[in-house]
Amino acid sequence: MPHDVVSFLDMQLYAFDRKLLFLAPNRYLVDQTSDGNWVKTPEAPFNPNKGADSIVKFDTFGDGMGRYNVFNFQYVGDKYSYLKCSDPCAPNEMKNMQPGDVCCWICIPCEPYEYLADEFTCMDCGLGQWPTADLSGCFDLPEDYIKWQDAWAVGPVTIACLGFMCTCMVVTVFIKHNNTPLVKASGRELCYILLFGVGLSYCMTFFFISKPSPVICALRRLGLGTSFAVCYSALLTKTNCIARVFDGVKNGVQRPKFISPSSQVFICLGLILVQIVVVSVWLILEVPGTRRYTLPEKRETVILKCNVKDSSMLISLTYDVVLVILCTVYAFKTRKCPENFNEAKFIGFTMYTTCIIWLAFLPIFYVTSSDYRVQTTTMCISVSLSGFVVLGCLFAPKVHIILFQPQKNVVTHRLHLNRFSVSGTGTTYSQCKYGT
């Protein structure tokens, strides 16, 4: 007998709509009306639990009304048709039982990143994991990173190799013609420092393409800012020297201080040391390492990255930006130098082009933050382009004269150090020490 009917039969007194209902010995319900008469009620609705979905009814004999599920089995051909409440769920589906029925369910597919904890529950594997083929558990997703054979790596590596070979060629030419007037007038010491910085910038591509590890991450953070600091510290020292010498020529003052080759080298190394100290402190405060990174919209991919934010990487270049700005200001200031100091014009072209490259790079770097391949490739190409700008604007004209116009690689002027009076004709080059 249903539980709700048993509960009703156990009751001896029940208040319902201000009427008293009594259970008669013959199981009929009787109702006392307002005039005091008792009226037999052969069938009465009863709901012992308000809010329940079902209503209990009794027939004329006081028995509860039955409830039935009616199934119609039909004979089709030589078999009976098979009738069932619910189809079995697929391996990637869970059962959602229907209210009030323990035999029927709805099959609901699990999400791609969920596994079946039981036949009624789909569970999230969590970021960095994926369900097994049979959905019985989860496994760690393999780490994704740029590999050397990827198309995203081939382009930047090719460009970097080409740039590094060009740098080596320029160094070879300068060493071979180290004592010629043009190389001397260019400031050999600063040129070699500058070429070292350019070569280091090309090496950064190999660090950014390599699989992230604590060592690689440390080299990335140390090398990127330092390579630029080496380049632009040398250029800043050059332009500052030219500006001071040019001002001395115009004003007729005595020889400026700290324009000897050794002084310029120490100034340049001091500027580079600032960047090294800043990066070293950064490495101590934020120890290099790797992390597994997963985008919520691409949960099937786990990216292996260095544990440093993109914003932190760019902030570390703040000092380099200051050097670039100062170089550009000095290059613009000395743009009208006399022919004796015409290297300032080439430095100006270098700095203007560098500014354009990095102004274009920064928005691309942030916009592509969701795709590490595009972001890394953009970074590598931008760094390499900065190196090509230095080689093309500063060293290509010198190498061309050394190799193909040796007749111009002669002393054609004398720079008097006492009053900086400049004389001479022909092709000339800036000097900051610099007698004949």
pLDDT at 83: 53
Mean pLDDT of the chain: 79
Mean pLDDT confidence for 300-304: 91
**Residues 245, 432 contacting (CB under 8 angstroms):** yes
Quick: pLDDT tens for 134-171: 898 999 999 999 999 999 999 999 999 999 999 999 99
The pLDDT assigned to 320 comes to 92
Position 317 scores a pLDDT of 87
> Quick check: 354 and 386 in contact, CB under 8 A?
yes
pLDDT in tens, 95-126: 888 776 667 888 999 999 999 998 889 999 98
**3-class secondary structure, 359:** helix
Position 245 confidence tier, pLDDT thresholds 50, 70, 90: confident
pLDDT by residue (tens digit) across 192-234? 999 999 999 999 999 999 999 999 999 999 999 999 999 999 9
Per-residue model confidence (pLDDT) at position 104: 81
Q: Highest mean pLDDT: which of 55-59, 83-87, 261-265? A: 261-265
Q: How open is the CA angle 361-220-194, to the nearest 5 degrees?
A: 75
- Pairing verdict, β 79-80 and 75-76: antiparallel
- Give the containing element (helix H, strand E) for 296: none
**Residues spanned by CATH 1.20.1070.10 within the chain?**
147-424
Instruction: Tell me what pLDDT residue 164 has.
Output: 97
Decide which of 362 and 24 is more confident: 362
- Per-residue model confidence (pLDDT) at position 429: 40
Give the C-alpha separation, 318 to 40, whole Å: 97
Give residue 229's pLDDT.
Answer: 95
The Cα 329–Cα 335 span in angstroms is 10
Tell me the Cα Rg of the chain.
Answer: 43
Contact residues for 242 (Cβ-Cβ < 8 A; gap 6+): 330, 334, 337, 341, 343, 344, 347, 430, 432
CATH 2.10.50.30 boundaries in the chain: 84-140
Query: In the predicted model, is pLDDT for residue 9 greater than 60?
Result: no
| Cα dihedral across residues 180, 184, 190, 191: positive or negative | negative
Q: Answer whether CATH 1.20.1070.10 is correct for domain 147-424.
A: yes
Q: What pLDDT is recorded for position 66?
A: 67
Distance CA 137, CA 123 (A): 9
Rounded to an integer, the average pLDDT of 57-85 is 63
Going 94 to 98 to 101 to 104, the CA torsion angle's sign is negative
Q: pLDDT tens digit string along 387-426?
A: 999 999 999 999 999 999 988 887 654 444 333 434 333 3
- Phi, psi (5° rounding) for residue 431? -135, 145
Going across the sheet that includes 19-23, the strands are 14-16, 19-23, 29-32, 38-41
pLDDT at residue 11 in the model: 46
What is the pLDDT at residue 365?
Answer: 82
Tell me, what's the pLDDT at 77? 65
Partnered with residue 40 across adjacent β-strands are 30
Q: Which two tokens stand for residue 272?
A: 């580079």
| Mean pLDDT across 166-179 | 96
CB count in 10 Å sphere of residue 207: 19
Q: Are 98 and 85 in contact (CB under 8 A)?
A: no
16 pLDDT more than 60 = no
Residue labelled with tokens 């020529």: 249
10 Å CB burial of residue 426 (0-12, 13-18, 19+) is exposed
% residues pLDDT > 90 (the chain): 44
What confidence tens digit (pLDDT) does each residue in 188-199 have?
A: 999 999 999 999
What pTM was estimated for this model as a whole?
0.72
Lowest mean pLDDT among 40-44, 64-68, 91-95, 404-408: 40-44
Distance CA 80, CA 74 (A): 6
State pLDDT tens for residues 323-376. Answer: 999 999 988 887 776 654 567 788 889 999 999 998 888 888 888 877 889 999
Give domain 84-140's CATH superfamily. GPCR, family 3, nine cysteines domain (2.10.50.30)
Give the residue with greater pLDDT, 309 vs 252.
309
184 vs 231: which has the higher pLDDT: 231
Written as one string, the DSSP assignment of 97-148 is EPTT-SS-EEEEEPPTTEEEEETTEEEE--TTEEE-TTSS-EEEPPEE---T
Predicted local distance difference test score (pLDDT) of residue 342: 63
